[in-house]
Amino acid sequence: MTGNYKYGRDKEQKVANALRNKGASVRVSRGSKSAVDLKVVFPSGTKWNIQVKSSRSKIVAPPTSKEVGRLKQGAINSSATAVIAKVTPEGIEYESASTGRTLMPPKRIR
């Protein structure tokens, strides 16, 4: 694995583990060909298709318009919300790929 690819995969696992800690079921994509890095289903039934973007600095490069289009189409096909997860040294932010609004994972059901 190249350095950047491994770094990105590590960040995908970080997001997957954070969401699992909130009670979500998470499936990580096999490779880097798909626009959807993670398929997430929360106990509430809410579904997210996530593309993970990461940076070693505070600024994460946005996905290309082609990536966003593919992510949104995949979300429509699976009745999910298209989400961009931005991972920086400060933490993880979730953003709607459609509206740009900040999203919060649904609360864990006890």
In this predicted model, what pLDDT tens digit does every residue of 36-45 receive, in sequence order? 999 999 999 9
pTM of the model: 0.90
Domain 3-103 is in which class?
Answer: alpha beta
Closest by alpha carbon to 98, among 75, 33, 86, 78?
75
What residue has token string 């999203």?
Answer: 103
Closest by alpha carbon to 33, among 62, 76, 74, 61?
74
Domain ranges of the chain: 3-103
Q: Which helix (H) or strand (E) holds 83?
A: strand 81-88
- Tell whether the model's pLDDT for residue 32 goes beyond 70: no
